[in-house]
Amino acid sequence: MTFLVLLGAPGAGKGTQAPILAARLGLPHVATGDLFRAAVHEGSAVGLEARRYMERGQLVPDSITVKMLLDRLAQPDAALGAILDGFPRNLAQADILEGALADRSSRVNVALEIEVPEAELVRRLSGRWICKANGHVYNETSHPPRVPGRCDLDDSPLIQREDDRSETVAARLTAQLTALREVVGYYQERGLLRTIDGRRPVAEVTAALAAAALAAAADETGSSPRGAGN
Ligand SMILES: [Zn+2]
């Protein structure tokens, strides 16, 4: 089995890469955010439990998230492994995941980090501008207006929402990066981290991710299945 943890800051391209990589490797893409929505929608026992916390505006405890995750990993399509997206988000979750997989004589085989410098992340996340009159959406990099600051369609001024301003984005990102760096360090210490440069074109990033994942899978089949040897 190959369990792959996909790591990356918001804006690093994880959301783009995860489904492509899943198709390429023939492994299911298991995103914890999707699991929550599905469990709540289906009204499963664990979903109802999760909903109790969400309705009170509280974070769903890691124990519930892990239970949901393990249920998902027990499905037939995950028999050969899975790509985990959105979990673990912090050190405590990384420890819980390690213990839970160890109980099943399994482990995380490789953690793939899509790395993009912080300044570039801020640039990617804060480039959104909206036309004041009709809400037409522009992006400084991917879809810039012909005349800076004016809407192409109605010449109305373009404004930025508070959430999309670079200072707001940078502040939010700093908090998220702290937790991410801890998780990255966790897998680095265990010799499981592979870092991929996320500034390259999408197809090149996919190729690098797939190559690192396949190398890890080959290591796994080549070594004796002791599990916690390293
Ligand atoms: Zn407009």
Q: What is the CATH number of the domain that holds 36?
A: 3.40.50.300
* pLDDT tier for residue 193 given thresholds of 50, 70 and 90: very high
Kindly state whether residues 142 and 114 are assigned to the same domain. Answer: no
Instruction: Say if 210 falls within a structural domain.
Output: yes
Kindly state whether residues 119 and 184 are assigned to the same domain. Answer: yes
Instruction: Say if 229 falls within a structural domain.
Output: no
Active site residue 128: yes
At 222 the pLDDT is: 64
Kindly state whether residues 67 and 143 are assigned to the same domain. Answer: no
Q: Inform me whether the pLDDT recorded for 225 exceeds 60.
A: no
Instruction: Say if 227 falls within a structural domain.
Output: no
pLDDT tens readout for residues 112-147 = 999 999 999 998 888 889 999 999 999 888 789 999
Instruction: Say if 25 falls within a structural domain.
Output: yes
Q: Inform me whether the pLDDT recorded for 70 exceeds 80.
A: yes
Q: Which uninterrupted H or E stretch holds 80?
A: none
Instruction: Say if 39 falls within a structural domain.
Output: yes
Task: Return the closest-CA partner of residue 101 out of 55, 126, 131, 66.
Answer: 66
Q: How far, in Å, from the CA of 162 to the mean position of ligand 1? A: 19
Task: Return the closest-CA partner of residue 108 out of 42, 45, 191.
Answer: 191
Kindly state whether residues 74 and 88 are assigned to the same domain. Answer: yes
Instruction: Say if 175 falls within a structural domain.
Output: yes
**Catalytic annotation, pick one of 72, 107, 124, 128:** 128
How many domains does the structure of the chain reveal? 2
**Catalytic annotation, pick one of 89, 123, 150, 190:** 89
CA 179, 197, 190, 33 torsion: positive or negative?
Answer: positive
Cα(131)–Cα(138) distance, integer angstroms: 8
Give the residue numbers spanning the domain of 137.
Answer: 127-164
* pLDDT tier for residue 154 given thresholds of 50, 70 and 90: very high
Neighbours of ion ligand 1 (CB under 5 A): 131, 134, 136, 151, 153-154, 156
Cα(180)–Cα(198) distance, integer angstroms: 15
Instruction: Say if 230 falls within a structural domain.
Output: no
Q: Inform me whether the pLDDT recorded for 43 exceeds 90.
A: no
Kindly state whether residues 108 and 149 are assigned to the same domain. Answer: no
Q: What is the mean pLDDT of the chain?
A: 89
* pLDDT tier for residue 230 given thresholds of 50, 70 and 90: very low
Q: Inform me whether the pLDDT recorded for 224 exceeds 50.
A: no
CA 200, 88, 100, 73 torsion: positive or negative?
Answer: negative
